[in-house]
Amino acid sequence: MRIYFSFLFFISFSISVAGQIREYHPNLGKIYFNKKSYLAAIPHLKKAIRRNPANDTLISYLALSYYYTRQLQNASRSFQYLEQKKLLKDSLLVYYFNTQKQQGKYSEAKKWALLQKNIQLQNLVLHCDSSILWTKKTKPVKVTNLKKLNTEYSETCPSLHMQGLYFLSNRESVIIEKRAGVDGLPYQSAYLSEYNEDSTLKHPILYTALSTDRYHAGSACFVEDSMLVYYTKVQRDRDNVLRSKLYLEDLKRKSIVPRKLFILNDSLYSFIHPCMDKEQKLFFFSSKMPGGYGGNDIYVSIRVENIWSEPINLGPVVNSPYNDISPFYDSQGRLFLCSDRPEGMGGFDVFVAKQQNGDWLSLQNLRAPVNSSNDETGFVMHKGLKRAYFSSNRLGGLGREDIYEVSGKLFLLFDE
């Protein structure tokens, strides 16, 4: 009964703290949830549960809303309550398992999963063992929080710029004020942290060339030794839905030149995280377009005589039934990517794929300390400076997500 009362107290306390500022429509939480506006759904679901604490559907929606917004302790409390009341449906078992795993509770997650008569859970247990091993035996590299760049907000999507490090942040800006409608948080804007003479990074400044749009600024790929940048731009389509499209801009000419092959303005799908090789012959991106393996997949287009091929799915070694994003292709032909597949340590992990004769042969997890039980995304490597960068919402950061630097003997990240 303890979990039952603590859960109801949690709902009651959170509502009283929020205050009775306005009335909540009983179905508004469901409406926001079905629109995938999970952060906006939470206060309305709490109010509805307080009035109807036996409604397991509402509690399931609340648990999933916490899960999708990475409020994992609150998600655990909600899933735990459903389990005690014998209302935890089979469709929620993996979410509860992942909630424990993403808090680094690998042993607890494994022990709980073994008690469940669920085939999908049994297949996930082995990944708890590898996560425990990787936590104890970490790779000999140094991971540092770049505190000059980070704030209490989110800093994500680092990209190598000719003058420093480009990234996105939804920190408050005195120049451009843009706020998302459903959660009230500022939209992401682009920032640039330039290099000092000793190759350390300065305090960032607003990168106005890619921050003047109405909605989110996007991830970018700056073409080496040129003023060209491929970038993601968020816009509303003809169905009034926000979607991400890929653009090319010549920063020298200050003109936007859309690449029709990648924009696909009449498409119902988004295209994100552009990446190009040094020779400008391979263009990688992530999309949930039809024909993939599930979730976001990574695709490549090949340029032959200045004509780009149709996007090619990189296949089942690189892609999975889960979300595979943030491609980064280095000079040695390795493809880094971030994925929330179960082989990771929890949430999104950084992986590296190797190829031979054009075929992708293997995929390795970069393990700890690069990866953690939380999310790691946007891994990029600067060969000249022998450093890598990524973003993470791991414990100990300054905000929701922070930018981190990896230094030391980077070759030790890769198993031969």
Q: Out of 1.10.3450.40, 3.40.630.30, 1.10.287.610, 1.25.40.10, which CATH number does the structure's domain 2-130 have?
A: 1.25.40.10
- How many residues belong to the chain? 416
Per-residue pLDDT tens over the stretch 360-397: 989 999 999 999 999 999 999 998 889 999 999 999 99
CATH superfamily of 141-413: TolB, C-terminal domain (2.120.10.30)
Per-residue pLDDT tens over the stretch 324-352: 999 999 988 899 999 999 999 999 999 99
H/E stretch holding 273: strand 271-276
Residue 18 has pLDDT above 50, yes or no: no
Q: What is the strand order of the sheet 155-161 is part of?
A: 155-161, 164-169, 189-194, 205-206
Is residue 220 within 8 Å of 211, Cβ to Cβ? no
What secondary structure letter does DSSP report for 217? -
Which residues 6+ apart lie within 8 Å of 332 measured at CB? none
Output the pTM of the full model: 0.88
Q: Which of 233-237, 269-273, 285-289 holds the top average pLDDT?
A: 285-289
* Residue 258 confidence (pLDDT): 45
Q: Sorting pLDDT into bands at 50, 70 and 90, what band is 8?
A: low
Residue 416 has pLDDT above 60, yes or no: no
The residues spanned by each domain of the chain are: 2-130, 141-413
Higher-pLDDT residue of 53 and 372 is 372
Is residue 27 within 8 Å of 34, Cβ to Cβ? no
Q: How far apart are CA 86 and CA 292, in angstroms?
A: 36
Average pLDDT score over residue span 250-265: 54
Higher-pLDDT residue of 71 and 261 is 71
* Residue 90 confidence (pLDDT): 93
Average pLDDT score over residue span 296-324: 92
Burial class (CB in 10 A: 0-12, 13-18, 19+), 3: middle
Average pLDDT score over residue span 256-265: 45
